A and B are shown apart, each in its own frame.
Chain A
Amino acid sequence: MLKNIIEVESLSKSFNISSKDPGLRGTLKHFFKRETKRIKVIKNITFQIKEGEIIGFLGANGAGKTTILKMLCGLIVPSEGSISVSGYLPYRRRDDFLKNITLIMGQKQQLIWDLPPIESFYLNASIYDIDKFEAKRRIKKLSDMLEIEDELYIPVRKLSLGQRMKSELLAALIHKPKILFLDEPTIGLDINSQRNLREFLKSYNSENNATICLTSHYMKDITSLCNRVICVHNGSISYDGKLEKLLKKLSPVKEVLIVCSSEKDANKLAKSGFKVKNKVKNEITLKIENRNVSSSLRTILNNYDIEDLFINEPPIDEIIEKILVKNKYTF
């Protein structure tokens, strides 16, 4: 039985945010009497994460995903509730805890801009008390995995975004962290670089049994890496469970394209009580509820002359996009 490596209970975070009316009047009012509001951005959330799991945090911009990651890695202090990561209170930032985690933010960098990445790697190795010999070995291994051996000696400012992101990953992983917090790690990368990065994360996870908490706006990141997702909506958790289950829940029907042997059969099938999406000559697309798929197909195959049949999986990208962009679904 795998143990929980992250335990969060009734966690909340509030921020004081000042607001200002537009125009000169608003500016003067803001200068003399500043109005601040206390906004609860994370509301009483509870979840556990097991060692080795890859979890995707889903939600629209401003839903609170990044704030959750910041609390988990100890960057910010929670306002209420309890949080334990690898047995530590993250916000105390004990050295032993910090040596176990890493945070990668797709939009922020820690590499020294004017120097080649290798300098930052050795610097990080030293900060994490890794001796030079071991550091060299790890840099070699990780640069092989990330395919950036040729870029190690080129100043960071001369690298492409993808090469920089891979170098950031290497810098963040040189101490072999057991828990990775990744905030949109593939942002701005081209499709190839995204795929390589995902492959790398998968192998890092399986080799080191590392736990990965990930936020991303790219559907592929979520679908190819995460078995479990936590949907965040307005600072609360609206879903926590298997990705498959979420997709089934959000898309309860399957689309079945049936090619009948004649148009006559297709017309007959269209009038048989199934929900028809469209019909073109002898091809008919039916919408069948997930739970009725097998029985419905049996009926169709037994009663109609069928040439071919295709079952379309739920349109994952569209569904996740609705969660990410439009916050359409609450559960």
Chain B
Amino acid sequence: MSKIFTLLKVQYSNMLEYRVEIALWAVSGIIPFFMLNIWTNNNLNEAININNTMLSRYFLSVFFVRQFSVVWVVFSFEEDALLGKLSPYIIQPLNPFFRYFTQHIAEQITRFPFALIIAIFFFLFNPDSIWFPNLIFLFLSFISTFLSFLIQFLIQSIIACICFWTEKASSIERLFFIPTLFLSGLLAPVVSFPKYVKSWIYFTPFPYLIDFPANLLSGNKTNISGGFIMQILWILLLFPLFTKIWYEGTKKYTAMGS
């Protein structure tokens, strides 16, 4: 644990070197606000019985959840593996994925003030949507956002390990991003989806990536215990899959570029 803490401290120092870049990344995550605009201007929320205020809170929560669960490990890992930068880390007594994991956490910590500033601006333009979440729900949404991050981190790490075989694993991630974009609740609350989609979507990991934590934070109705159980089940399923593919993948590693 102390190794992870030291890694986190170092990665945080490193991330502070890139604070302008991170601020820009935070600003670039404002898709949910565009979606809110589309929904409210077209009165689409009436069809799903969510009023404007609750919808505003939902999309602001989506923004927050996305800010603290966005994952890019596949791109860093692929570059490191293909250029041989992974080599010194692979022969250290710590799985190199901890480096990427702490990089993400450090980046999230760095993002936090910028996300908060964006939220303040959001409230300035939407004073009706100001709310103070119940502390218990705030805590639960924090946990579910972290679990959502873990699920996405594991999925991307599994995809990243495929580069031991195909070298260009990031293209698989780009393919995977399409269902994530449409089914996670980033563009629309899952409750607004057609009935037949809702009949199977809850068995996939997608609604638990954004919709579930965002509903918890915004105070919208959601199945709390069911959501947490599914998040934990997905982590329990993905973790052994990751360790297996990592173990098999490193046997294929050729330490290219060095």
State the A residues within 8 Å of B (CB): 15, 66, 70, 73-77, 91, 93, 95, 98-99, 101, 103, 105, 107-110, 112, 114-115, 119-120, 122-124, 126-129, 172, 183
Report the nearest B residue to A95, measured CB to CB: B93
With beta carbons under 8 angstroms apart, the residue of B7, B10, B89 that contacts A115 is B10
The answer to whether B255 and A70 touch across the interface, beta carbons within 8 angstroms, is yes
Instruction: Check: B117 CB closer than 8 A to any chain A CB.
Output: no
Interface residues on B, range: 20 to 34
Measured in the bound complex, the distance between the Cα atoms of B180 and A159 in whole Å is: 43
Report yes or no: B7 in contact with A126, Cβ–Cβ below 8 A.
Answer: yes
Q: Residues of A contacting B91 with CB < 8 Å?
A: 73-75, 93, 98, 101, 103
Cβ contact within 8 Å between B93 and A15: no
A residues in contact with B250, CB < 8 Å: 93
The verdict on B253 contacting chain A, using a C-beta distance below 8 Å, is: yes
Cα distance A187–B92 when bound, in Å? Answer: 23
Q: Does A123 contact B10, Cβ atoms closer than 8 Å?
A: yes
**B residues near A66, Cβ cutoff 8 Å:** 258
B255 touches A127 (CB 8 A): no
B195 within 8 A of A: no
Which residue on chain B has the smallest CB distance to residue A103? B91
Please give me the 9 A-B residue pairs with the lowest Cβ-Cβ distance, nearest first.
Answer: A126-B6, A110-B88, A95-B93, A114-B17, A98-B93, A123-B10, A127-B94, A75-B255, A108-B258
* Contact assessment for A115 and B13 in the assembled complex, using a CB-CB cutoff below 8 Å: yes
CB of B14 within 8 A of CB of A115, answer yes
Given contacts A98-B91, A108-B87, whether A123 and B7 have CB atoms under 8 Å apart is yes
B135 to chain A, nearest CB (A): 35
Q: Judging by beta carbons under 8 Å apart, are A112 and B10 in contact?
A: yes
**Do A108 and B85 touch across chains, with their CB atoms under 8 A apart?**
yes
Tell me which of B6, B7, B14, B92 has the highest count of chain A C-beta atoms within 10 A of its own C-beta.
Answer: B92
Identify 16 new A-B residue pairs, CB closer than 8 A, beyond the known A66-B258, A105-B87, A127-B3.
A70-B87, A70-B255, A75-B91, A76-B254, A76-B255, A77-B251, A93-B91, A95-B93, A103-B91, A108-B84, A108-B88, A108-B257, A115-B17, A122-B6, A122-B10, A129-B3
A99 engages B258 (CB within 8 Å): no
In the assembled complex, the Cα of A70 lies from the Cα of B86 at a distance in Å of: 13
The interface residues of chain A lying within 8 Å CB-to-CB of B88 are 103, 105, 108-110, 172
Closest beta carbon of chain A to B10's beta carbon, Å: 5
Contacts of A119 in B (CB 8 A): 10, 13
Instruction: List the A side residues contacting B251 at CB < 8 Å.
Output: 77, 91
B10 touches A103 (CB 8 A): no
Q: Are A75 and B90 in contact (CB under 8 A)?
A: yes
User: Are B3 and A75 within 8 A (Cβ)?
Assistant: no
Contact A127 B93, beta carbon cutoff 8 Å: yes
| Cβ contacts under 8 Å, B225 to chain A | none
CB distance from A178 to the nearest CB of B (A): 14
Query: CB of B42 within 8 A of chain A?
Result: no
Is there an interface contact between B258 and A110, defined as CB atoms closer than 8 Å?
A: no
Least CB distance from A177 to B in Å reads 11
